[in-house]
Amino acid sequence: MLKVLVLNIALFTPLFFAGQLSISKVEQAVAMEDENPLDTVNTFAGTLGLNLSQTALQNWAGGGESSVAFTTMCSLSETREKGPRSTGWGLDAALGLLRQQGGWRKTDDRLILTGQWNTAMQRTLKDARLSVLVDARTQFLPGYALVDGLPDDDQKISGFLSPGYLVAAAGLAPQSGKNSKIFIAPFTGKLTVLLDDTLSAAGAFGIEAGQHTRMELGGYLRWNWTLPLMENVSWTHQLDLFSNYLNQPGNIDVNWTGLLEMKVNELLRTTVSVHLIYDDDVVLEKQPSRTEVNDQGVITTIPAVMGPGTQFKEVLSVGLSYKL
């Protein structure tokens, strides 16, 4: 009986471990098989922010002015991936106001909506994706020209959908790194909208006088890049380039934004944002009009110097930020 028991152990022990090994491999294979590439993966991110500043002066010998300012922002994005296809949308909105000298003026104002659809090209360019991008942007409140440092309500220079920009582009999104994304679109339509009748009559923002829309066809490139600088400090930027095939394609529209974010804790953060725009169709007052008096007392009025130019904005914000 003892010999039979020893024989059984000798015969079935290797088979038992072999079975355990094969079962382990099967379980691993099943686990790998369960990672279905057709499963839907959703990623959502959002940030809400509010920055406040206030100064109150009364009988202050050192001079200065009382003021109150606030900036509120909202950034939301979501991506959905299923197999070789993915979709995504984003919302970026901000509004900043400053009250000084008895009046309000804007310090920040933007509303941007984006959507993108991608599909992999497995049989041709496996490292690239066919992609369609839609980008719409405008502002919330009217903008006015400054006279003696204060907005002049009689000189409106912009408003909601005045201008508004809509870009629809189809192209390729090459497979890039984790922190860098590039989108190249040789087929792009850019629609400029000007709802305000006064601005339309003046032919502002490159739209023919009396018209409310302008359509352009050209090529488009978008480059997003995120760079972690150190713990809780990061730099992100987005560069958009557009060339109109039908009218001076060498005059490329440039729209570049950058954000330096320094996180203090879960609620407090400091940001420095920069925004640079160059659009050959946007006429700016590069030098204001002025008067000169010569030695004979003759007064000469020199008109303002108008033309395209580089627009630049920088905003430093310290305040509350909440991650959704």
Print the SS3 string covering 73-100: EEEEEEEEEECCEEEEEEEEEEEEEEEE
Distances (CA, A) of 62 to 58, 59, 65, 104: 10, 9, 10, 24
User: Given this model, what pLDDT does residue 63 score?
Assistant: 86
> Please, which pLDDT band fits residue 126 given cuts at 50, 70 and 90?
low
> Please, which pLDDT band fits residue 17 given cuts at 50, 70 and 90?
very low
User: Given this model, what pLDDT does residue 243 score?
Assistant: 97
Does residue 9 register a pLDDT over 80?
no
Q: Please give the average per-residue pLDDT across 44-49, as a whole number.
A: 93
Cα separation, 86 vs 78, in Å, equals 11
Higher-scoring residue by pLDDT: 282, 186: 186
* Whether 144 contacts 152, CB under 8 Å: yes
> Please, which pLDDT band fits residue 84 given cuts at 50, 70 and 90?
confident
Question: What DSSP character marks residue 206?
Answer: G
Which residue is associated with the tokens 């400053």?
98
Comparing 14-28, 34-48, 161-175, which segment has the lowest mean pLDDT?
14-28
Its sign, for the CA torsion 6, 8, 11, 12, is: negative
Residue 9 CB contacts under 8 Å (≥ 6 apart), including other chains: none
Its sign, for the CA torsion 195, 199, 200, 201, is: positive
Kindly report the pTM of this predicted structure: 0.81
Comparing 72-76, 97-101, 251-255, which segment has the lowest mean pLDDT?
97-101
Comparing 7-11, 45-49, 97-101, 179-183, which segment has the lowest mean pLDDT?
7-11
Cα separation, 119 vs 132, in Å, equals 9
Which residue is associated with the tokens 């560069």?
239
CB-neighbour burial class of residue 131 (10 A; exposed 0-12, middle 13-18, buried 19+): buried
The alpha-helical segments, DSSP class H, found in the chain are 2-34, 197-202
Q: Which of 203, 171, 208, 209 is nearest to 189 (CA)?
A: 171
Both tokens assigned to 305: 């110097």
pLDDT digits (tens, 9 = 90+) for 141-153: 999 987 777 788 8
Among residues of the chain, what percentage have pLDDT more than 90?
59
> Please, which pLDDT band fits residue 220 given cuts at 50, 70 and 90?
very high
Comparing 38-47, 178-187, 227-236, which segment has the lowest mean pLDDT?
38-47
> Please, which pLDDT band fits residue 20 given cuts at 50, 70 and 90?
very low
User: Given this model, what pLDDT does residue 287 score?
Assistant: 75
Cα separation, 161 vs 195, in Å, equals 6
